[in-house]
């Protein structure tokens, strides 16, 4: 048995109320035990000296576009490997490659290509499955999604797409007011796929009906949604007020104002998750024919529309604490255990409980990533 002792750290366990000073023992790629400063440690274990630095579970990004959306529709494997390698330096050990709205033929090719790439993927951060963002969203709230690809849900197309995914599709973002949304929610429920509401101008009543029909998550809260008004709270108000729904948001200070991040954290508590919505256009620098420009932590289309973020998930965690929305431990939970619970993988990932995978992140005092570990093996070091 191979043992590794992460010694003298500040352990950020998302299932504990406070950080704990001590050590974490790993055996054969799995977490074995937390050891307090007073407990004896195995003499034969390989030692990783933390010297007071924070140790957290590996982060999970459930909304990451990366480079794959810029690839050939049926050949995303190379970009998936690129994405999975690049996000290790930000502490991300698992993610959902996320699509954009595509025409029917393009969607079929993309889903087939991604499903095959995910099945064969073995390097870098784990690709847990596919997140379909669209095309069954509202044309009135496209964000940076191509409007011509947004359409009603047709059961024949939907079943075909989900079948082509061969079980790889883990989440679908849809608008509850889109034609066919009720049928789509029922189909996702039968297949065990997480239904998420987003890109919507739905009223509060329609949004709550979506929750009644099985939707249990909200995609990038505040963005590509109707506005909140005290007499017309819309999807935002319904999501903030309903305890059945988790919500994620892009915590870069541009997509969502820090005050709104604080308000969401107070309303949702542990049901608020952090994502990046990151894109990596590479050399092309274009999305749907529009030249993208960098603007701090975001990308913009011509005209100024937000097209996605340049946000590392480690920065989202640091921002949530800096904005006064969460403690560091709460922000770590929002990027680890919270997403794991949503996907039903909390016994394996996003946790420091015994027998879970030893996917770990060592953090410096400023929140930057010093080391990333997967299955007890160091895969990144600053």
Catalytic residue IDs:
277
CA distance 366 to 261: 20
CA neighbours closer than 13 Å in the CB half-sphere of residue 127: 31
For 230-291, the DSSP string reads: SS--HHHHHHHH-TT-EEEEE-SSSSS-HHHHHHHHHHHGGGEEEE--EE--TTT-EETTEE
CA distance 312 to 277: 10
Q: Can you list the alpha helix ranges (DSSP code H) found in the chain?
A: 77-86, 104-120, 155-164, 181-191, 204-212, 234-241, 258-268, 313-322, 328-334, 337-343
CA distance 367 to 319: 9
Nearest of 234, 298, 227 to residue 260 by alpha carbon: 227
């Amino acid at each position: 048995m191979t043992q590794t002792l992460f010694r003298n750290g500040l352990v950020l366990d998302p299932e504990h109320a406070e950080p704990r000073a001590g050590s974490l023992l790993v055996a054969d790629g799995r977490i074995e035990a937390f050891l307090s400063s007073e407990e004896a440690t195995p003499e034969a274990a390989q030692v990783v000296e933390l010297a007071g630095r924070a140790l957290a579970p590996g982060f999970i990004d459930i909304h990451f576009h990366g480079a794959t959306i810029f690839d050939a529709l049926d050949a995303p494997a190379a970009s998936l490997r690129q994405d999975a390698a690049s996000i290790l330096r930000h502490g991300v050990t698992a993610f959902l490659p996320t699509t954009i709205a595509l025409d029917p033929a393009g969607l079929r090719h993309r889903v087939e290509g991604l499903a095959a790439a995910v099945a064969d993927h073995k390097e870098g951060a784990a690709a847990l499955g596919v997140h379909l963002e669209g095309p069954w969203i509202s044309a009135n709230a496209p964000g940076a999604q191509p409007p011509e690809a947004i359409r009603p849900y047709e059961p024949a197309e939907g079943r075909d797409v989900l079948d082509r995914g061969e079980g790889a599709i883990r989440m679908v973002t849809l608008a509850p007011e889109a034609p066919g949304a009720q049928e789509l929610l029922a189909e996702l429920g039968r297949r065990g796929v997480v239904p998420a509401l987003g890109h919507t101008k739905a009223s509060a009543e329609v949004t709550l009906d979506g929750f009644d029909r099985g939707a249990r998550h909200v995609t990038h809260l505040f963005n590509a949604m109707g506005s909140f008004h005290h007499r017309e709270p819309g999807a935002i108000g319904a999501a903030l007020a309903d305890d059945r729904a988790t919500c994620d948001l892009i915590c870069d200070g541009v997509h969502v104002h820090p005050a709104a991040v604080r308000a969401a954290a107070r309303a949702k508590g542990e049901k608020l998750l952090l994502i990046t919505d990151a894109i990596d256009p590479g050399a092309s620098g274009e999305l749907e024919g529009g030249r993208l420009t960098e603007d701090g932590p975001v990308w913009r289309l011509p005209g100024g529309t937000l097209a996605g973020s340049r946000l590392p998930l480690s920065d989202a965690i640091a921002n949530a604490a800096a904005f006064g929305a969460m403690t560091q431990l709460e922000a770590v939970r929002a990027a680890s255990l919270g997403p794991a619970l949503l996907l039903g993988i909390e016994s394996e990932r996003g946790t420091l409980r015994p027998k879970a995978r030893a996917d770990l992140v060592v953090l410096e005092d400023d929140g930057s990533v010093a080391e990333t570990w997967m299955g007890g093996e160091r895969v990144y070091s600053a």
